[in-house]
Amino acid sequence: MANIFPRWSNWLPIKILVCVAVVAASIVSGMAYYFTPKYTRVGYQPTQPVEFDHSLHVNQLGMDCRYCHTHVEKSSHSNVPATQTCMNCHTQIKALSPKLEPIRQAWKNGQPVPWVRIHKAPDYVYFNHAAHVNRGVSCVACHGHVNRMQVVWHDQPQSMGWCLECHRAPENHLRPLDQVTNMDWEPPAGTSQRELGQKFVREWNVNPPVSCAGCHR
Amino acid sequence: MRADNPASQAAFLRASEYLDRKPLVSGKRSLAWITDHVCRIVEQPAPVWWWVATILTGALAALTPAMLTYLVATGVGVWGLNAPVAWAWDITNFVFWIGIGHAGTLISAILFLTRQKWRTSINRSAEAMTIFAVICAGIFPAFHVGRIWFAWWLFPIPNANAIWQNFRSPLLWDVFAVSTYFTVSLIFWYLGLIPDLASLRDRAKTRLRQMAYGLLSLGWRGSNRQWTHYEKAYLILAGISTPLVLSVHSVVSFDFATSIVPGWHTTIFPPYFVAGAIFGGFAMVLTLLIPFRELYGLHDLVTDKHIDNMCKITLLTGSLVGYAYAMEFFIAWYSGNPYELYAFINRATGPYWWAYWAMITCNVVAPQLFWFKTCRQNPWVVLAIVMFPNTGMWFERFVIIVTSIHRDFLPSSWGYFSPTWVDITLFIGTIGLFVFLFLLFVRFLPMITMFEVKNVTPEADPHHENGHETHGHPSPSPAARAHA
Amino acid sequence: MKRVLSHPAASAHGRTYWRSLGEYAQTPDFEDWLHREFPAGAAEWEQDPLSRRTFLRLMGASLALAGLGLGGCRRPEAYLVPFNQSPEWVVPGKTMSFATAQPRRRGAIPLLTTTFDGRPIKMEGNPLHPASQGKSDNHAQASILDLYDPARRRHLTLQGKKATAEQLDAEIQRIRTEAAASGGATLAILADETASPTRERLRAELVRQYPQATWAVYEPLAPGYDTEASTAAFGPGTQFRANLAEAAALLAVDCDFLGSEDGDLTDTRGFAAGRRIRKPGDRVSRLYVAEPRFSVTGSMADHRLRLRAGEVGAFVLEMARQVRSLRGSPELSAAITAAPDLGLPHEVDSAWIRECAADLVANAGKSLLLVGRRQPASVQALALAVNSALGSMGSTLLVQPAFALPAASLQALVARLQAGAVKSLIILGGDPVYNAPADLAFGNLLASVPTSLHLASLPNATSAKAKWFVPGTHYLESWGDALATDGSYLSIQPAIQPLWAGESQLEFLCRLTNRPKPVGPALIKETFAARINQSGLNLEQAWNNFVREGFLPAASSPTARSVNAAGVAALTAKLPEASEASAEFLEVAFVSSPAMDDGRYLNNGWLQEWPDPMSKLTWDNAILVSKKTAEALGLRNEIVKGILVADVARATLAGQSLEAPVMIAPGHVDFAVSLPLGYGQEELGPVAKGSGFNAYVLRRTDSDYLASGLTLKKTGKTRQLAVTQEHQMMEGRDLVREATVKEFNQNPGWVKKVGMDAHIPPNQNFYPAPTLDGDYQWAMVVDLSTCTGCNACVTACTAENNIPIVGKDQVMKGREMHWIRVDRYFTGEPEQPEAVAQPVACMQCENAPCETVCPVNATVHNEEGLNVMAYNRCIGTRYCANNCPYKVRRFNFFDYNQRSLEKLYWGPLAAKGTEETIKLQKNPNVTVRMRGVMEKCTFCVQRIEEAKITAKVRARDSANIRIPVGSLKTACQQACPADAIVFGDMKNEKEAVGQLRNLPQNYGLLEYLNVRPRLTYLGRVRNPNPAMPGARTSYLPSHGHGDETHHGQKKGVPH
C-alpha cells in the first residue's frame, strides 16, 4: 500500500510536541508575570488632575504625612486632604500658579477635585491604617518612598501573599513610633532591623492576625 | 487429540459439547470475517436508524449546554436545592455516571490481568462507555459549585494569595481521582484502538478516511517490534488502571463516608460503592451491547456466553449491594444511636419511601432473575432486567444523598427536595449526550477489538491443527486467510 | 510594560447624603457648606454605576468610578473625591453614635443610632436609659430599613399628581383662613397616638387658635380601655404599668406582655430577671398564662390554660372571688359585688383558678394579675382591684401620669364628617382608611371631605384617598421627643437629613399654627426648657446632656396609689357575659401581628421574612385555629413536598367576609379563631404586595378586638405558606433539656445525663484539633430559662450582617438566609402543648465538620476558636452545609443582593443592582455576599476585629492590647431584651461567659458528635406548681436515655 503521509511527517509529532511545550511554557510564565499584582498594580502611575509633587512637599518643605492625611492614625482610611487643606497654604504661596487652577476652581465652585485612586484593597479586604501606623509600621512599608516620588505610583504588590509575609514576620518592618512617618529612617548603627523589630514584637506584644478573619469579614 | 475410530470420535465430540469451553467466537467464523464484519460498520453508509437515533440524541445532548448556560448565568438556585438538601440531583447524577464508568476499566484492566479472554469482544465498547460516562459525570461536580469561574481554585496552582487547597477534603480527592481515572481510561482506550485504527486505515477507500485513520493510528505498521512495545504498554496501563477501578469509587464514597451525616457516615461505603458501580456498569454495558449486537448482527462476536457471563456478574454484584443495604440497617440498629437508626427508618418509611423501595426492587430483587438460565439466555429478557439496575442505581445515589440530609440532626431544619425542570432537563441532556457520543463511537471507530478477538479464536491457538479455524473441518481457502 | 494612564476629562462625581449636625445646622458655615456640597437635585439618586462597597470606601463626600476598559487589563480607574472643607467631628471611616428614640403608640424605645460616613446603619438600645439598658426589639432593629424604603414618596402630591411646595403653602393658608372663619369648626385633625410632649404642646396651641377644631386620635390596636380603667381606679391623667422585676408569681390573662402587647423592654427584662437561675436554691418566679392562642408569653408559662378571649371577664371574676376568699379587700369586694354573676368559664377546671389564686395570694406583694390592654375596661378595672387586694400596688404595679391629653375618638370625628361639618381633614400619620372599623367606611367619608391631607413617611391607603399627600419624615430624619413608658423624657435626634423632601408632624403643625418653620431642634428645646423650668438646671448644659444621653429622667417616681372602689365597681358592673362558641359560631379575636404590628411595617422586608415566633410563618398571615376546630370544620394543613399547604376558608362575620388560609396552631383554644391584623395592603409598596389578607374588613366599632358568630367555610382553594420550620416536634431528641426547679436543685448537672450524652464513650479526633492559642477564646452561652423566643436577635443579626431577604418563594424552598434562627418545638400533650425556644447560630465548633470538607480552605478555624469564613475564597460546593449538624450555614442560591426577588430566575435577563437607598443601610464592615457563596454567623467577627484594632491603636507602643471586659458584644447579644445571650472570652475568668460555661447546667447541642461547640446552652428550668391540676412533676426523661419515643408523629401534632 502506498504511503498516505509523506516521509517528513514522521518528524511532525516531535515538532508539534516541541511547539506545544514552548507555547505552554510561555503561557505559564506569561501568567506568572502578567497576572500577578506585581505587574497589574506595581508601577501604576496615573496622571493626577493636579501635579502634586510629594517629594517637594515632604523632602524640601519637610511636611509630615499627617499634615494632609489627617485621619491616618484614627481611622481605617487614610484620607485624601480636603481642598481646604491645600488652600491653607496656597492662598498665600503660589496663589496664582496655573498648576493649582483646579484646586482654586474646586474651592470656588464647591466641586471637589477628583484625585485618581492608586491603592485599592478589594471590597472583601478590610485594611486598617490606624492599626498599622500606631504599632510601628511605617508608611514606606506599603507605599514605598513616596517622599521621593514626584508623581505617586503603586510601589508594592499589596497581594495577599505580600501582606502575609509581614504578618508572619512583623519584626522585619517595625520601627519606633516616632519614626513611622519618617520615610528614610534606618536602624541606628550597631543594631539591625531584625534585632530592633524582635524587641518591639516582644515589648509591644505585636501579634498580627494570620487567620482569614484578620482581613476578611 | 482425535481418536482413530469413528465411534470413539463421535463420543468425543458428544462429550466435548459438554466439557469443552464454548468458543468465544461462535459460528465458526474466519478471521477475515471478523475484520470484515467489524469494519463494515464503519465503512458502509450509516443506516437510517443511526441517523434518526443520532439526531434525536444529539438534540437531547444539546440540552446539556443550554441548561448549564442558564445555570451559570442565573445561579445554582435554578435547581431544587435548599437549606438541608444542599446536594441532590447534581451529586446523584455525578455518582451515577461515575458508577457507570466503572465496568469499562474493570473489563479492560482487571479481566485482562486475570486472563479472562471473554472480555475481548466487549472491552472496546465498555471502555468507550466509560469515557463517555465520565464525561457526563464530570459535568456535575464542575457545575454544581456556586462560582464555577473560581473552580480552578480546586487545583494546586501557585498564586499570589499564598493559599492552598484543603487536602483533608474528600472533594479535593475527587478532583484528583476522577481526573486521573479519566486520563488513564482515555489513554488505555486509545492505546487499544491503535492496531484496529490501522486496519481501518489500510482498508480505507477515500483519501479523507486514509488521512483520518492514518493520523489516529500513529503510524502503526504491525511490526514485531511495535507489537512487543504495544503489549508491554498495554500491560503496564492495565496495571495502573486496576487500582483506579477500586480507588475512584472508593474516593467518591468518601464524600459521604467521611462526613458526620447519619446515613452517610458509614465505613461500608467504599466496597459497597465499588460493588454498586460494577453492578451498574455491567448493566449499562448490557443495555448498550444487546441492541447494537442485534442491529449490526454481531451475534458471533458478542455471543450468548458473553451475555451470560455479564448477567452472572450482575447477579453477584447486585446481591453484594443487597447485602450492603441490609448491613447498613443492621449497623444502624446495632450502633444504638437513635440519629443513625432514624436515618435508615426514614429512608424506608419517610417521605422518600418510594425512592427507597424503587431502589430495593431494582437493585436487589430484579437481578435475582438471573439465577434462572432461561432469563440469562434470552437477550431481550436480559435487556429488560438490566433496565432495573440502571434505574435502581440512580435511585440508590438519590436515596443515599437526599434522604440522609433532608432529615438529619435537628428536626427544626428538616426539609424536602423536589427537582425543578432544570434538574430534570439537565439529567436528560446528559443521557442524550452519553448515547449520542456512543452512537458516534460505533459509527466512526471499530466497536469490537478485532485483533484481540482474533487472538481468542481457536485459530489463534498455536496448537490448533494447521491453524485451522475449526475442529474437524478442512481449512478454508488460503486466500481468505491471507486477506485477514 | 508600565503604563501611565491619563486622567479623563469627565467631571465625575458621586453624591451622598449628610447628617444634620444638631445645632451646628444653624450656623451660616454649615448652611454654606451644605449648599456647596449638595447642589440642587442632589437628593435625586440615579443609578450610578457604583459598586456599593466602593461607594462606602469613599474618603470624603463622594466618589465615582469610570467605566471598565480605560485601564485595559488593569483595574478600572476610580477617583478619590475629598471634602472641600472637612466637617467638624467627622473622621471618615469611623462610626458615630447618636442617642435617639423610636416613637411608638405607647411611649418610645430609647435607642442609639450608629452612623457611618453620615448614614445611619444600625439601631441599638440606649445603654444609659433604664428602660432600654442597651436592649432593643425587632421593630426597633428593623425601623432603620424603613428609613431607606424606596417606596417612600419623594414629593408632594395633589390628587395623585406631583405638586409644588408653593401650592401646598397656598392650600394651608386657605385652610387656615377657612378655619378661622368658623372658629375651627370646619377643621379636623386625625392623628396617630404618640407620647410626644411637643406635639401635645402644638396641639394645645392649635386648639387655642381654633377652639372648635376637632382633634381626634386613632390607633387600631390601642383602644384606650386601660386608660379608662386607670381613670376609674386612680383618677384622670393616670396610667399604670407592670414592674415585673419584683414579681414572684404572675398571672397573665390574654396578655402577651413578652410579645405583641404594647409595652417596652422593661417587661421582658423584668420577667427574665425573675427566671434567671444559676445555682441550686436561686429564687425563680412562676408564670401562669390563660390565653386563647399560643403567644410568646404562653411559651414561657409554667402553667398555661387555653381560654377564649371572650371568657376572660368570667375568668377574672372567678379569680377575683378566689382571691377574695383568701385575702379580702374592700375595693375587691365592692368590685365583685357590683359585677354580674357570670359563672365559670366553659371547660375551665375551677381547681386551676383556685390553685393559681392561692399561689398569687401566697406571694402577695410580689404577685400580679395582668390583663391584655385590649380587654374591656371592666375586666381591666376588676384586675386592678384584684391587684390591689394582692398588695401589688407600688411594687409590681406602678401608676404614673398619662402621656397624652384626652382626645376625641375616631367615632366622634366620623360623626362630624357624616354631618358634613368638616371642610378640611388633616391626617397625621396612621392609615385609617385601611385600619378603621369597617362599619365606619372611613375611606368613603374621607373622599367626601372637600380638603383632605395626609402626612406619612410611607404612602398608604389613606394617602391614596386623601387629596394631598405630604411626605413625612422618618424618626431618624427629624427632631422630635417622646416619653418613655417609665415617664422619662426622650430626645429624638435626627441622624441624617431627610432623604427626600419631607417634613415631620411637628413641622407640619407649625405650618398649621402659623409658626415659622422650626430651625433644628428649636421646638424641642422649648419643650425641654419648660420641663426643666423648675429644676434650676443650666439650660444649655442640661440640653447638651439631654441630646447626648438621649433622655431626661422622669421627674417623679411612681407612687403607691389606692384603688377607687366606687370607680372600679362602676366599671365591673359592665363585665361582659362569657361568650358562647361552637364550630358553627366561632369567636374571633383580631390580634396584632408580632411582625407587622397594626400593619405599619408591612413594606419592611426584614420583618416580612422575620418568622413569627410561634408559627414560624413569614410573608403572610393566616387564620389561626386549634386542631379540634379545624377538624370539626374539615380544614386541613398539609406538608406537600416540604411546603405547608393550607386550606383557604371563607370567614364571614356579620355579613362581611374574607378568604384566607387557615393555619392549625397548636395550643389554640377551641372554637375560636385569631385573625392577625396588618397584612393585605397592596398599596404600600412592592414588598407588601401580595402578602397576607386584610383582617380589618371584618372589624367593626363594637368588635374592635372580639366578636362572636364568625363562620368559617372551606372554599376548596389552598394557599402555600412559607414557614421556616415545618417540623415542630423534637422527635425525642435531647435538643432542649428541661427540668423543674426541684429537679434542678437536686441535680444541677442533669443536662449531662440526657440522651446521647448519657452513654457516649469519649470521642477521639481523626484529624489534629486546631491550635487554640489566641489571646481570646470566644464563646457564647444562651440561657434557655430566660430566652423567650422573641426573635429580636434575628432582626439584629440581619441588620448587622447585611443579610439579604429572599422572598416568600425562596423561603418556601428553604433558602432563608438568617444566620441565627430560633427553633421552636412543641412538647407535651398535643391538646395542651408546651413550647420551647432555642436560638441556633453557628456553634463555632472546635472540631468543625464543615472545615475538613471544604476543598479550598474557605472556612477554617482561627486561633481564637472562631470558625471563620472567607467569603471570597468560597466556590460554593455546599459540602460544608451538608456536613453541618446544626444546619446554620446559608447559601446564596441567587444574587439576592443584586437581583429583584421577583426575577431571581430570570438570570441575566433581569436588571442587576439594588436601590441606592438600600445600599446606604449596609454595614460597611461586613462583606455583601454574592451568589454562589456560603455564609454564616461568625460571632460578629467584624466587631471582634474592630475591638481588637481599637485596643491596639490605644496601646500604641505598650503591651496592653486587651479588649476591655464587657466592651464587645455581638449584635444578637446586644439586642436580646432578656439578656439570654452571653458572649465573651471564655479564657478570661472575669467574663461571664466562662463562668456560665462552667455551670453544671451548661450543655452543648449534639455534643456526642465531638464537635465541641463554642455556643452552649443553659438547660431550661421550669417552675411548675405541684398543686396545679395536671402539673408535670418531672421534665427529665424517665429512663435516663432521653425520650426516644416518636410521640410527635403518633399524636398527630402537625409537623
- CATH number, domain with residue C884: 3.30.70.20
Amino acid symbol at C32:
D
Residue A29 to chain C, least CA–CA distance (Å): 15
C729 touches chain B (CB under 8 A): yes
Based on the domain organization, do C676 and C754 belong to the same domain? no
Based on the domain organization, do A48 and A123 belong to the same domain? yes
Percent of chain B with pLDDT over 90: 55
pLDDT (0 to 100) of residue B17: 61
pLDDT digits (tens, 9 = 90+) for C427-474: 999 999 999 999 998 999 999 999 999 999 999 999 999 999 999 999
Based on the domain organization, do C457 and C358 belong to the same domain? no
Question: Which of B215, B216, B221 to probe the A interface (max A CBs under 10 A)?
Answer: B215
- Please name the member of A5, A10, A160 whose beta carbon is closest to the beta carbon of B214: A5
Based on the domain organization, do A107 and A151 belong to the same domain? no
pLDDT (0 to 100) of residue A142: 92
Amino acid symbol at A194:
R
Mean pLDDT computed over B243-247: 86
Q: Is the pLDDT of residue C304 over 70?
A: yes
- What sign has the CA pseudo-torsion B408, B411, B412, B417? positive
pLDDT (0 to 100) of residue B18: 62
CA distance A146 to C779: 44
pLDDT digits (tens, 9 = 90+) for C282-300: 999 999 999 999 999 999 9
CB within 8 Å: A47 and C78:
no
- Please name the member of B154, B169, B409 whose beta carbon is closest to the beta carbon of C853: B169
Is C125 inside any structural domain?
Answer: no
Residue B39 to chain A, least CA–CA distance (Å): 18
The DSSP call for residue C26 is: G
Query: What's the length of chain B?
Result: 484
Do C817 and C806 meet the contact criterion of CB atoms below 8 Å apart? yes
The DSSP call for residue C665 is: -
pLDDT digits (tens, 9 = 90+) for A119-138: 888 889 999 999 999 999 99
pLDDT digits (tens, 9 = 90+) for B167-222: 999 999 999 999 999 999 999 999 999 999 999 998 988 889 988 998 898 888 88
Residue C884 to chain B, least CA–CA distance (Å): 8
CA distance C224 to C377: 8
Q: Is the pLDDT of residue C1 over 90?
A: no
Mean pLDDT computed over C854-860: 93
Mean pLDDT computed over C716-742: 91
pLDDT (0 to 100) of residue B462: 67
Phi-psi region of B327 (alpha: psi -120 to 50; beta: other; left: phi over 0): alpha
Based on the domain organization, do A149 and A56 belong to the same domain? yes
pLDDT digits (tens, 9 = 90+) for C746-798: 999 999 888 787 777 777 888 888 889 889 999 999 999 999 999 999 999 99
- Please name the member of C854, C932, C1005 whose beta carbon is closest to the beta carbon of B166: C854
Based on the domain organization, do A205 and A170 belong to the same domain? yes
Q: Which three cell numbers stand for residue C1030?
A: 395536671
CB under 8 Å to A190, separation ≥6 — which residues?
A: none
- What sign has the CA pseudo-torsion C898, C901, C904, C909? negative
Based on the domain organization, do C932 and C949 belong to the same domain? yes
pLDDT (0 to 100) of residue B16: 62
Mean pLDDT computed over C332-352: 88
C1040 touches chain B (CB under 8 A): no
Mean pLDDT computed over C928-938: 93
pLDDT (0 to 100) of residue C93: 85
Residues of C in contact with B175 (CB under 8 A): 855
Structural domain boundaries enclosing C193: 157-220+405-486+489-552
Residues of A in contact with B159 (CB under 8 A): 161
CA distance C968 to C949: 12
C742 touches chain B (CB under 8 A): no
pLDDT digits (tens, 9 = 90+) for C999-1010: 999 999 998 888
How remote is the C-alpha of B433 from its chain's centroid?
15
Other chains touching C, judged by 3 or more CB pairs under 8 Å: A, B
Structural domain boundaries enclosing A34: 10-39
Based on the domain organization, do C391 and C449 belong to the same domain? no
CB under 8 Å to A154, separation ≥6 — which residues?
A: A41, A42, A43, A44, A45, A118, A119
pLDDT digits (tens, 9 = 90+) for C137-159: 999 999 999 999 989 998 999 99
Kind plus residue range of the DSSP H or E element containing C251? strand C249-253
Based on the domain organization, do C926 and C975 belong to the same domain? yes
Taking the CB of residue C780, how many other CB atoms lie within 10 A of it? 27
Residue ranges of domains in chain B: 25-457
C856 touches chain A (CB under 8 A): no
Q: Is the pLDDT of residue C127 over 60?
A: yes
CA distance C875 to C853: 13
**Interface confidence (ipTM) of the complex:** 0.90
The DSSP call for residue B331 is: H
B409 touches chain C (CB under 8 A): yes
Alpha helices in B335-402 (DSSP H): 338-349, 353-360, 373-377, 379-398
Taking the CB of residue B47, how many other CB atoms lie within 10 A of it? 13
Residue A38 to chain B, least CA–CA distance (Å): 9
pLDDT (0 to 100) of residue B19: 61
Higher pLDDT, C94 or C16: C94
Q: Is the pLDDT of residue C1051 over 60?
A: no
pLDDT digits (tens, 9 = 90+) for C869-898: 999 999 999 999 999 999 999 999 999 998
C853 touches chain B (CB under 8 A): yes
pLDDT (0 to 100) of residue C482: 92
How many domains does chain C divide into? 4
pLDDT digits (tens, 9 = 90+) for A165-174: 999 999 999 9
- Please name the member of C11, C82, C956 whose beta carbon is closest to the beta carbon of A80: C82
Residue A71 to chain B, least CA–CA distance (Å): 29
Q: Residue A27: exposed, middle, or buried by beta-carbon count in 10 A (0-12, 13-18, 19+)?
A: exposed
How many domains does chain A divide into? 3
Q: Which three cell numbers stand for residue B242?
A: 486496576
Average pLDDT, chain A: 89
pLDDT digits (tens, 9 = 90+) for B361-388: 999 999 999 999 888 888 899 999 999 9
Mean pLDDT computed over C371-398: 91
CA distance C21 to C497: 9
What phi and psi, each to the nearest 5 degrees, are found at residue B354? Answer: -65, -35
Q: Among the listed ranges B24-33, B116-125, C57-66, which one has the minimum average pLDDT value?
A: C57-66
Query: What's the length of chain C?
Result: 1055
Q: Is the pLDDT of residue C1055 over 60?
A: no
CB under 8 Å to B375, separation ≥6 — which residues?
A: B311, B369, B381, B382, B385
Confidence tier at C917 by pLDDT (50, 70, 90): confident
Based on the domain organization, do A75 and A167 belong to the same domain? yes
Mean pLDDT computed over B258-273: 91
pLDDT (0 to 100) of residue B466: 52
Do B337 and C1044 meet the contact criterion of CB atoms below 8 Å apart? no
Based on the domain organization, do C213 and C229 belong to the same domain? no
Q: Which three cell numbers stand for residue C23?
A: 445645632
Based on the domain organization, do A170 and A97 belong to the same domain? no
Instruction: Determine how β-strand C617-618 pairs with β-strand C706-723.
Output: antiparallel
Average pLDDT, chain B: 87
pLDDT (0 to 100) of residue C90: 81
Report helix, strand and coil shares of chain C as percent, to nearest 5.
30, 20, 50
Based on the domain organization, do C451 and C315 belong to the same domain? no
pLDDT digits (tens, 9 = 90+) for C48-76: 333 333 333 333 333 333 333 333 445 67
Longest dimension (CA), chain C: 99
Based on the domain organization, do A96 and A121 belong to the same domain? no
CB within 8 Å: A159 and B161:
yes
Residue C514 to chain A, least CA–CA distance (Å): 35
pLDDT digits (tens, 9 = 90+) for B83-94: 899 999 999 999
pLDDT digits (tens, 9 = 90+) for C809-830: 999 999 999 999 999 999 988 8
Based on the domain organization, do C540 and C590 belong to the same domain? no
Is C6 inside any structural domain?
Answer: no
- For chain B, first and last CA: distance in Å? 27
Interface of C with A in 951-970 (CB under 8 A): 952-953, 955-961
CB within 8 Å: A161 and B160:
yes
Beta bridge pairs of residue C481:
C491
CA distance C789 to C840: 11
Mean pLDDT computed over C832-838: 92
Is A4 inside any structural domain?
Answer: no
DSSP string computed for B187-248: HHHHHHHHHHHHHHHHH--SHHHHHHHHHHTTT----HHHHHHHHHHHHHHHHHHHHHHHHH
Interface of C with B in 903-942 (CB under 8 A): 904-908, 930-934
Residue A207 to chain B, least CA–CA distance (Å): 19
Is C729 inside any structural domain?
Answer: no
- Please report, for chain C, how many H helices and E strands are present, in that order: 32, 40
CA angle B167, B171, B176 (to 5 degrees): 75
CA angle C548, C550, C555 (to 5 degrees): 120
Residues of A in contact with B218 (CB under 8 A): 13
Give the per-residue SS3 of C99-130.
EEEEECCCCEEEEEEEEECCEEEEEEECCCCC
Is A2 inside any structural domain?
Answer: no
Confidence tier at B464 by pLDDT (50, 70, 90): low
**Side-chain half-sphere CA neighbours of B412 within 13 A:** 26
Average pLDDT, chain C: 86
Confidence tier at C843 by pLDDT (50, 70, 90): very high
CA distance B427 to B144: 13
CB under 8 Å to C704, separation ≥6 — which residues?
A: C220, C223, C374, C437, C590
Which whole-number Å values give the CA distances from A81 to A77, A114, B93, C80, C251, in the listed order? 12, 11, 59, 10, 63
How remote is the C-alpha of A216 from its chain's centroid?
19
Q: Which three cell numbers stand for residue C18?
A: 449628610
DSSP string computed for B274-295: HHHHHHHHHHHHHHHHHHHHHH
Q: Which three cell numbers stand for residue C596?
A: 407587622
Instruction: Determine how β-strand C821-828 pairs with β-strand C890-891.
Output: unpaired
Residues of A in contact with C2 (CB under 8 A): 43-45
> Under DSSP, is residue C788 helix (H, G, I), strand (E, B) or coil?
coil
pLDDT (0 to 100) of residue C56: 35
pLDDT (0 to 100) of residue C66: 32
Residues of A in contact with C39 (CB under 8 A): 110
Is C284 inside any structural domain?
Answer: yes
Q: Which three cell numbers stand for residue C362?
A: 401566697
Kind plus residue range of the DSSP H or E element containing C95? strand C95-103
